[in-house]
Structure formats: C-alpha cells, structure tokens
Amino acid sequence: MTPVRLDRRRFLEVGALSLAGLRVLPSLRRAGEEVVVRLRADPAGSRVWFEPRGVAILPGTRIRWELEAGVHTSTAYHPDNARAPWRIPATATPWDSGYLLEPGRSFSVTLTVPGVYDYYCAPHEAAGMVGRIVVGEPGAPPYFPAARPEWRPLPQAAAHGFPEVATIVRHRAIR
C-alpha cells in the first residue's frame, strides 16, 4: 500500500508543478514579440500606474504602452528628456511618447540593447508613476551614471517605485 501512496503523492506533485509551469509560460517573452504596458488611472485620477510596472524581455522585443485612462506619457529617464537622470543603458536610444490623451492611443519602441531601462510618466512622476524594463539577463546590478548638477533630481516617490531587478527577472512581470 505504501508504494501506491508515494506514487500518488509523486503524481500530485508533478501535476502541481505542471500547472505552476503553465501559469509562468504566458509571461515569458521571446525576441520579436510585443509586450503591452497599460497606462492606468482610477476613476478619480488619484491613483496612477503602469501595468505591469516591471517586465523582463529579450533584446529585440517591442514594448507598446497603451493608454487606458487619464493623460500619461512613457518617457525614458535620460538627460535629453527634461534633464532627467540617466537610467537607461549608455548606448540605448531614449524615448518620449509625448502626451497620450485619448484611451486606446499607444506608443511603441523596440529595445535591442541589454540592460535596465527606467521610465516615467511626465505628469505623474512625483506621484511615483515609474516603470522598469530588464532587457536580457543582467549579470550585475544596473549601472546608472552619477548624478550631474544639470540633471534634475529624482522625486522621492519615483525613487521608491522601481521594482528590484532580481524580482523582475524571477517573475518576468511585476503588476
């Protein structure tokens, strides 16, 4: 009788692991695929966020930010964008969607340079509306150049809003 219980237990363990694997599979991204990040707000506009706010992708993946509610931007942290601190890979091209005003509007970029990309919503950065994209598998913590006097400081709510790189890599998407 004992061998049957062990076999049954092993069967249940394998089944549970298989179901867990099915839950993870949709969040894995392949190069060339598109990942959608939604720009959201509650009905009163008092709470704003990117969903997901952290995502891990392979180089060559296209990211599309789609406006669901409110007025938002997707803006890379880079001095070319309103003197923001530099928080994307050194050889990456910064982006700025401009203001997305109507639900359904979107903006896309394809990220090819491995590294960590931090971005924000221009009108809601001080409220902590920030996101992070990890392209490829980082071997070290993100490198961001030291702050310069000509760059504006990172708002406190924004500085505390970024998911940890290791957490993003482990879960593939942070909602």
- Domain enclosing residue 147, as ranges: 31-174
At 94, which CATH number? 2.60.40.420
Q: Give 10: exposed, middle or buried? Use CB within 10 Å, 0-12, 13-18, 19+.
A: exposed
- Kindly state whether residues 42 and 3 are assigned to the same domain: no
- Kindly state whether residues 68 and 153 are assigned to the same domain: yes
Pairing of strands 48-51, 34-41: antiparallel
- Kindly state whether residues 21 and 85 are assigned to the same domain: no
8 Å CB contact between 141 and 95: no
The whole-model pTM stands at 0.81
- Kindly state whether residues 23 and 44 are assigned to the same domain: no
- Kindly state whether residues 94 and 13 are assigned to the same domain: no
- Kindly state whether residues 6 and 62 are assigned to the same domain: no
> Could you give the number of structural domains in the chain?
2
- Kindly state whether residues 15 and 36 are assigned to the same domain: no
- Kindly state whether residues 43 and 129 are assigned to the same domain: yes
Residue 141 confidence (pLDDT): 73
- Kindly state whether residues 82 and 167 are assigned to the same domain: yes
- Kindly state whether residues 142 and 154 are assigned to the same domain: yes
- Kindly state whether residues 124 and 104 are assigned to the same domain: yes
Report residue 97 CA to chain centroid gap: 16
Could you read off the pLDDT tens digit of each residue along the chain, which spans 175 residues? 444 343 444 333 434 333 333 333 334 445 568 999 999 999 988 999 999 999 999 999 999 999 999 999 999 999 999 999 999 999 999 999 999 999 999 999 999 999 999 999 999 999 999 999 999 987 777 878 899 999 999 999 999 999 999 999 999 999 9
Residue labelled with tokens 């995502």: 55
d(CA 99, CA 149): 27
d(CA 6, CA 64): 48
Residue labelled with tokens 């998911």: 163
- Kindly state whether residues 14 and 70 are assigned to the same domain: no
